[in-house]
Structure 1
Amino acid sequence: MVINDQTTYLNYAPAADRNKQPIWQVLQAYLPSNQSVLEVASGSGQHALYFTQQNPQLRWQCTELSDARDALQINLNELSVSKFPPVKTLDVLNDYFVSEIKALASFDCLYTSNSLHIMSWDGCLAFMSLASQVLPEGGVCAIYGPFLYDDQPVQSNIDFSAWLKERNPESGVRDIKEVEKGFREEGFEFLADHAMPANNRLLIFKKSSN
């Protein structure tokens, strides 16, 4: 439990506090009022809480793995000024949890932050498949985090990817071409690529017509 800005969070993430404002400055253009958002890997809920404070009309569904879900639910219960729906357990590689998410009302946006480089590549592909299944035509998928670019090599991201792979060979910073290809195969167009602080990006994909 960490105190920050006079707010108490379980599983507090300093990076989420640093990047929430820059992300919102860009993301808000893709989230008009009354949008319904599914967040994959909500962590401590810091982004969900901050973004819905900026736009209280957003309907934000948080998800987490089972071992982090309870702490996230406590944060939302104690720190939110508005009502969040109950946190849903989600492992994108688990068909049971995916089917529970699909059974919810459709979403306008799928959002995730700093997750694709933690997932296995199979997990990333499953995330893309989930996006295709829960978003309508015109729905957007917004992904924040580091990525690798052949024409713009960033040594810190290359080093970070090597460090991740030492901990777990299935993790690693993802190549932007592979991410774009995976989304294209799921019926998405690559709408925008926004540069963010600390060599991160905010990628926006839009679901095309079938």
Structure 2
Amino acid sequence: MSAARPTKTVVVFDYGFGNVRSAERALARVGADVEITRDYDKAMDADGLLVPGVGAFSACMQGLKEARGDWIIGRRLSGGRPVMGICVGMQILFERGIEHGVETEGLDEWPGTVEPLRAPVVPHMGWNTVDAPADSQAFKGLDAGSRFYFVHSYAVRSWELEVTNPAIRAPRVTWATHGEPFVAAVENRALWATQFHPEKSGDAGAQLLTNWIETL
């Protein structure tokens, strides 16, 4: 009989701007050993780091920097250590955000701008389907009709990163539509991110989190 697979440890980074308890429960549901903390050593040592985010882009960036989260994310990714961002935790991974005419620098892991979503009804609040690439690892085991829970007024409306080296695998980008297409998720080696809330997306969200845990 084969040995049991060791439980993966995940830190939900607590920098004051995220649904940390919902994320904790969702990750525990799929078998992770979860801790909510902003402790530097624990965030660095965990198998996976989950960065939630709710509220304004600028406030989240300020809170993240005060908790040294920007440095932790950068250090983990430079070593190929998995990080996942959710909602505004995804948005701050882009180059910049513009809210009410004010531009704020993001973490610049990907080029692109988080801008107001152009739609008849904003915020985009509720369940929506997504259009994932056929080779997506995040959406493995999910059918095209799977729905995820969104709450946001801002989004990345275009994907700007071009990969011209055939030896480098391009990020897998998933789209959704609310008034216009926008980036709903990104898989880029050790860095995953979703605009929707997998921790509030029922069985579909649990499957996506399971898929992430399997990469740790």
Q: What TM-score, normalized by structure 1, do the two folds share?
A: 0.34
Q: What TM-score, normalized by structure 2, do the two folds share?
A: 0.34
Q: RCO (CA 8 Å, sep 6+): is it higher in 1 or 2?
A: 2
